[in-house]
Amino acid sequence: MKTYLLTSMIIICNTILTFSANFIITNPNQVDIKDAPVVIELSKHKKIGLNKLENLAVFIDGKQVCSQLDDLNNDNIFDELVFITDLKAGEKKKISIKKISDKKRINCKQEVHTQLLLKESDGSIKSVSEVSSNKNDMYNKLHHHGVAFESELIAYRIYFDNKSTIDVYGKKKYRLELEDTKWYPTDAQLAYGYGDDILLVSDWVGVGSLKGFENDKMTHINKFDKRTQRIVSKGNIRTVVESTVKGWEYEGQKIDITIRYIMYARHRDVIAEVTASEDIQTLATGVQQIGGGQCFQNSQLVGSWGSWPPQPDKVKYPKETVGLG
């Protein structure tokens, strides 16, 4: 199985492999890192055991901090324990993992949100955790055309169609909004300061969308056996969603490919982990140019900056200035 990492953030986790439930995390960089995600893979610490993992809590300097447990492979066993902390340049922190009762658990703010909304025949919408189809017919069957997720800083949606484009919802205030707006704010909500879709992605790449690359052009994932979108985690610290394609006809073979998108609280950036059943010679990703604006690139990074109306109705929707990376 071949794994490709398209987009990465720094994940700092240097652990002591003994069951004292004590860990050390280190920032090896020469700059401070704020709201750094820390991921503890529970399978690597067998002495913690598999019983009552739901009671695990994280303590830093004796003080409990908000954390989250995730079952990533849907086997009803927690795989990872995650939390967020600040780390100064070169700093080391001692972390303790303890099993506590619910009465001793601190209340944690919900800082991320995820939704996948299926349209019903009566015009209503239903919240679901997974949808699949063996055709390119789900775009208009989903309320906002695919799974959406957010932190208090920004929101994204992934189109459930051949394009699989990632679209952007910008915010004017730090808060969760999708539960209220379902991606489409009313005029009253806009007047109250809610955010909105700020990027006209059309048939382009949007921001960080996964594509094939043939004959010197990006190509859509348009020949496949089955496509699925799934909400993996809806926790308070991070949201995890997956887009899976089975039987993608590409490079002369059939490939099963999964893109797992991970977004942490207090972050705008998203990690995209790509896993394929076969070796792939060439994949493409990137950001679209916005209204003839600037593009930036070096050997590892690509970005764009520009202004353009986010909707075809240029009277109601004036130009939005957007930066993508």
Cβ atoms of residues 155 and 169 within 8 Å: yes
Please state the pTM of the whole predicted model: 0.91
User: What average pLDDT is seen over the chain?
Assistant: 91
Domain boundaries, the chain: 8-104, 112-283
Q: What is the distance between the alpha carbons of residues 19 and 50, in angstroms, rounded to a whole number?
A: 13
pLDDT in tens, 59-93: 999 899 999 999 999 999 999 999 999 999 999 99
Examine the pLDDT at 299 and tell me if it is beyond 50.
Answer: yes
102 burial via Cβ count (<10 Å: 0-12, 13-18, 19+): exposed
Higher pLDDT, 137 or 22: 137
- Per-residue confidence (pLDDT) for residue 271, from 0 to 100: 97
Task: State whether residue 214 is helix, strand or coil.
Answer: strand
- Mean per-residue pLDDT, 3-24: 48
- Per-residue confidence (pLDDT) for residue 7, from 0 to 100: 36
Q: In this structure, which topology does domain 8-104 adopt according to CATH?
A: Immunoglobulin-like (2.60.40)
Position 21 confidence tier, pLDDT thresholds 50, 70, 90: confident
255 forms beta bridges with 248
- Per-residue confidence (pLDDT) for residue 48, from 0 to 100: 76
Q: What is the distance between the alpha carbons of residues 5 and 83, in angstroms, rounded to a whole number?
A: 22
- Per-residue confidence (pLDDT) for residue 174, from 0 to 100: 97
Examine the pLDDT at 209 and tell me if it is beyond 90.
Answer: yes
Residues 6+ apart with CB under 8 A from 146: 116, 138, 139, 157, 158, 159, 160, 161, 229
In order, the DSSP letters of 144-208 are TSS-EEEESSEEEEE-SSSS--EEEEE-SSSS--HHHHTT---HHHHHTT--EE----TTS-BBT
Examine the pLDDT at 183 and tell me if it is beyond 50.
Answer: yes
